[in-house]
Structures are given as structure tokens and as C-alpha cells.
């Protein structure tokens, strides 16, 4: 079921809210949780009920592994405390038992992670592996054409994080119903945010969250309305321009290529950011606060800054569960750079079974390595040599220059992220650097009379072609919204229920609903 559908807005969400708070009001706490689980599974099954057993089996498997690890840890701690309190001299048999327990925990964790990755690998990457094996080996193995279950990347990463947290002794609550609610809670189920067990369980168990909170309800509706507007009005407006451009890449000239790339840059942001706002808003109506996932990423002044703002829960997962276990920055400069590059390579492949995602991840990995080398080695040496920093050299333009470099790099990498193959990506890039000529629309052509003679003498370079003025207007507005307006996180902090806020919410909500002319899936559903 989609957030941007009549079924969700007018049927599912109201029924889920009414049922949950009615049961909570009757002090049927377990029943209210079970109701949310049932509603979430219904929400997931709306798309394709055939994959319902898959997520249920995954939940049961991971809960069994995680709870077993937790029980071993806490029983070991209890035994250790008892052993220490008795002030015994420590028999060899005791030490052997404790050593075996540690190995058992690691074995269970490894087994759980391998099984999760195998499940993800089969559904998401099997055809990718087969097609590449056919190319390398000259074989002719038939593709399986497996339909990717919605949300599998997100609920798999969520549960891997749970297993690791259990191994670290950070999981203290072991209740199957609570765990099922944690994984299936519908606002985050299909496209995140990626959650931690420890940040959600206290909220589900907090008795104050069982009471309808009108402030949270109004704030949740406000956030949901903003997200719906981002998706339906902004992202879906850019979608046709981006899709058309990437499907006709061989003919793109300068302005068309830039309009295509920037249209996708904003389509992706407002699509995924809109989904996240709707997810956070929906959860807040149930008095549950999900972690923020975006903090104005296109305001970033460096690639590192960008990843602190874009898809923040994925960045957190990659840092905590891949980068740090690989050694982080503790094993020397070369190893640090290797770890950073590896993390972004994995992050790229996580998005999809395509070499284009690997290339996108490699580009970001290389950029983050260069940025770190610049920040820690090169920049201090330059300052020591010339006695001035970048800010002192360029003054107020330093910030503008940093933003221009960062945004254009991000925009460039999104071309590879969106293109189906390298040929289409390079065709767009070729258009962006003007290899296919420069387009000037009829509307703007008449306004540049002083260039007419020059253009007339360079017909091979300049062409008169239609570039819709609406495209320029929408791209300009998108820049203004992304760079000048407060983001959802800031609006949440500053939110105060009032008639003014109510009017704004109703206006954008009603306008967005009237624009639900067609159902369009969220881009991250395919990841």
C-alpha cells in the first residue's frame, strides 16, 4: 500500500489509529500492539500477499537467533558475577565453559548474518550474479526473473543491526510480539528509516504513548502533508522530464542534459524525503518518533557533510556495522581510506543489483577519501606554506565555491545512479559538457538580441529548440525550496499548533490530494 493513495489516507490510516487508541483506552495493551502488527502486515500484504510468509519467517528466525544470543550473554554475566562474588580461585573447567560461550555467540551471530545476506542475495542479486557469470564464463544459465519483495533491503538491515546489538549486549527486552512490531511497524517497513531496536522498544512500552496526544496528532498530520506535497506535487512533476531525458540520451544537448540531470536530482530527493516525512508523520500520530533521515542534504558544503545529511540512518548503519567493525580509522591512514572506500562500495551495491550502483558507490567512496586526505593532510600543508586558509583566500566566496563543487559532484553521480547502463550515462554526461550542441528556446532567443549575430554564424553549435519555460521555473523553485526553506526537522522543532499551522496543513494536504491523479511508486521501493 502506498502512502500517496486514497486507500491509505482515507481508509487504512484512520482505521489503524482508531483501533489502536480504542484498545489502548480499554487498557488492552497487548491487544493494541497485536492490532498494530496485524495492520502493518495487512499494509505489507496489500502489494503482494505471496511475500507475507517471507517476512514472517525472517522475523521468527532473527528473533530466535537474537534472543538466544542475548540469553547466553546475560546468563554469562550472571554466572560471572556469581563466580566473582564467591571469590573462588577459578577452575580450568569454568574458564573453558566461558570460552565456549563466547565462541557460541560469535557462531550464532555469523550464522544469522550469513542467512540474512543469503536471503537478500537470492531475491535481489541472483539474476545479477547469473548474468555476470554468463558473461565471464560464456555460459547460458537462464535468469530466474525474481520479483523483489518490497522493503527487503530495509527490514534485512534492520534485523542485522538487531543481531549485532544483541551480540553487543544492548538488547535487554526479548518479547516476540514487541520484536514483530519493531520490524513490521508500517511507517518504516517499506523504505525506512533503518531503526535500532533500543530506540524503538522503550517507545512501544511507554504507557504515556498509549494515550491519544493531540499535539503529536497535529504535528504528524503536518509532517505527512508536507511529505505528500513533496511527493505528489514536486517529485512527480520532475519525473516525466527526468524519465524522458534518460530514455532519449543520445539526442540531449546542453540545456536538455542539464535539465534532465537536475530534474532527477530533485525528483529523487523530494520523492525519498517526502516518503520519510510521511513515515515520520504517520508514526508520530501513534506517539512514536522515528529518527530523522534528511537534514537539507543539498546545502552540504562537502561530500562528508552531504552524507551526514542524506539518508542519515543508512549512513549510521554503514558507520556502526561496517566501517567501525572493519577497523574504522584505528589502523592507520591507508587502512582508513580502504575502509571508507569499501563502505561506500557496499552502500552502492545495497541500492541495487547493477554495476551502475557500484560505480556510483565507488565515486562517492573516492570522493570521501579525497576529502579526508585534503582535510587532514593537504589543506594543513597548504596553510602552513602560504599562511592562509581557504576561507582567508576566497573570503565569502569560499562557501559558495564549496557548495558549487559539492552540488555539481552530487548531481553528476546521480546520473550514474539513474542511468540503466554506462552508454546512457555517458550520453547524458556528453550532453552536459555540450558535445551535442547548445539549446536556446524560442522564448529566450528573442531576449538575447545582442547574441543573434554570433549564434547565426555558429549554427553547428547553437540550435533553436523548445525548452519549456515551466522546466526552468520548477527547477528554480526546487533550488529555492531545498536551499532557503527550513527542512522538516527544523519545522518539527519549531512547530506550535495554531490556526495558522492548521490552515497551511489543510491547504497543502487538500491540494496534494486533488493532484493524486495517478498512483506512482516511491523510487526507493525498487532498492
Contact 181, 33 (CB under 8 A): yes
Report d(CA 427, CA 121) in Å as an integer.
31
What DSSP assignment string belongs to 94-106? HHHHHHHHHHHHH
Is 351 known to be catalytic?
Answer: yes
What DSSP assignment string belongs to 249-301? GGG--HHHHHHHHHHHHHHHHHHHHHHHHHHHHHHHHTT--PPP--S-GGG-S
Contact 344, 365 (CB under 8 A): yes
Q: Which residues are paired to 463 by β-bridges? A: 439
Cell numbers given for 120 = 537478500
List Cβ neighbours of 164 (8 Å cut-off, separation of 6 or more): 109, 113, 321
- Show the CA angle centred on residue 69, arms to residues 191 and 314, nearest 5°: 25
Judged by DSSP in three states, 438 sits in strand
Judged by DSSP in three states, 421 sits in coil
Phi-psi region of 22 (alpha: psi -120 to 50; beta: other; left: phi over 0): alpha
Contact 445, 462 (CB under 8 A): no
Contact 418, 429 (CB under 8 A): no
Cα–Cα distances (Å) from 42 to 6, 117, 148, 185, 386, in that order, read 16, 25, 18, 11, 65
Report d(CA 263, CA 267) in Å as an integer.
6
Q: Which of 196, 311, 351, 364 is catalytic?
A: 351
Cell numbers given for 348 = 552502492
**Selection from 116, 124, 198 nearest residue 155 by Cα:** 116
Q: Where are the beta strands (DSSP E) in 412-524?
A: 438-440, 462-464
Judged by DSSP in three states, 462 sits in strand
Cell numbers given for 468 = 519549456
Contact 223, 277 (CB under 8 A): yes
Judged by DSSP in three states, 175 sits in coil
Report d(CA 489, CA 487) in Å as an integer.
6
What are the backbone angles phi and psi of residue 464, rounded to the nearest 5°?
A: -90, 120
Catalytic residues: 351
Amino acid at each position: 500500500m502506498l502512502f500517496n493513495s486514497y486507500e491509505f489516507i482515507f481508509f487504512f490510516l484512520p482505521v489503524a489509529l482508531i483501533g489502536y487508541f480504542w484498545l489502548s483506552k480499554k487498557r488492552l495493551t497487548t491487544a493494541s500492539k497485536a492490532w498494530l502488527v496485524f495492520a502493518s502486515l495487512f499494509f505489507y500484504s496489500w502489494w503482494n500477499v505471496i511475500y507475507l510468509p517471507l517476512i514472517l519467517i525472517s522475523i521468527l528466525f532473527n528473533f530466535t537467533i537474537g534472543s538466544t544470543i542475548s540469553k547466553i550473554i546475560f546468563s554469562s554475566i550472571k554466572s560471572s558475577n556469581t563466580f566473582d562474588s564467591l571469590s573462588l580461585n577459578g577452575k580450568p573447567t569454568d574458564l573453558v565453559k566461558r570460552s565456549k560461550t563466547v565462541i557460541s555467540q560469535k557462531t550464532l551471530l555469523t550464522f544469522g548474518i550469513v542467512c540474512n545476506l543469503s536471503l537478500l542475495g537470492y531475491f535481489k542479486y541472483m539474476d545479477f550474479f547469473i548474468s555476470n557469470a554468463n558473461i565471464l564464463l560464456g555460459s547460458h544459465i537462464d535468469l530466474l526473473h525474481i520479483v523483489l519483495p518490497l522493503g527487503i533491503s530495509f527490514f534485512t538491515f534492520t534485523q542485522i543491526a538487531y543481531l549485532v546489538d544483541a551480540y553487543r549486549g544492548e538488547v535487554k527486552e526479548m518479547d516476540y510480539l514487541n520484536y514483530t512490531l519493531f520490524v513490521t511497524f508500517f511507517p518504516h517497513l517499506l523504505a525506512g528509516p533503518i531503526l535500532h531496536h533500543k530506540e524503538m522498544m522503550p517507545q512501544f512500552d511507554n504507557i504515556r504513548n498509549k494515550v491519544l496526544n493531540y499535539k503529536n496528532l497535529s504535528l504528524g498530520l503536518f509532517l505527512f502533508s508536507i511529505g505528500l506535497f513533496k511527493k505528489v506535487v514536486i517529485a512527480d512533476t520532475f519525473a516525466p522530464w527526468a524519465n524522458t531525458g534518460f530514455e532519449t540520451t543520445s539526442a540531449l544537448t546542453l540545456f536538455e542534459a542539464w535539465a534532465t540531470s537536475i530534474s532527477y536530482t530533485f525528483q529523487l530527493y523530494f520523492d525519498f524525503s517526502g516518503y520519510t516525512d510521511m513515515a515520520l508523520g504517520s508514526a508520530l500520530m501513534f506517539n512514536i518518533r522515528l529518527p530523522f533521515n534528511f537534514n537539507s542534504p543539498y546545502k552540504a558544503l562537502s561530500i562528508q557533510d552531504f552524507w551526514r545529511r542524506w539518508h542519515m540512518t543508512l549512513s549510521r548503519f554503514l558507520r556502526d556495522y561496517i566501517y567501525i567493525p572493519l577497523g574504522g580509522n584505528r589502523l592507520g591512514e591507508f587502512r582508513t581510506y580502504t575502509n571508507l572506500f569499501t563502505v561506500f562500495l557496499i552502500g552502492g551495491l545495497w541500492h541495487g543489483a547493477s554495476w551502475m550502483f557500484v560505480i556510483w558507490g565507488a565515486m562517492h567512496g573516492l570522493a570521501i577519501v579525497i576529502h579526508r586526505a585534503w582535510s587532514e593532510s593537504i589543506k594543513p600543508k597548504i596553510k602552513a606554506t602560504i599562511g592562509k586558509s581557504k576561507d582567508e583566500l576566497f573570503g565569502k566566496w569560499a562557501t559558495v565555491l564549496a557548495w558549487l563543487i559539492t552540488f555539481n559532484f552530487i548531481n553528476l553521480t546521480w546520473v550514474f545512479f539513474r542511468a540503466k547502463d554506462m552508454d546512457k550515462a555517458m550520453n547524458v554526461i556528453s550532453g552536459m559538457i555540450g558535445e551535442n550542441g547548445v539549446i536556446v528556446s524560442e522564448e529566450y532567443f528573442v531576449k538575447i538580441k545582442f547574441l543573434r549575430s554570433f549564434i547565426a554564424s555558429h549554427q553547428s553549435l547553437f540550435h533553436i529548440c523548445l525548452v519549456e519555460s515551466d522546466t526552468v521555473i520548477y527547477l528554480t523553485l526546487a533550488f529555492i525550496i531545498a536551499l532557503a526553506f527550513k527542512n522538516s526537522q527544523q519545522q518539527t522543532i519549531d512547530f506550535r499548533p495554531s490556526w495558522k499551522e492548521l490552515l497551511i496543513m489543510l491547504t497543502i494536504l487538500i491540494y496534494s490530494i486533488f493532484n493524486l491523479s495517478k498512483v506512482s511508486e516511491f523510487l526507493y521501493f525498487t532498492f
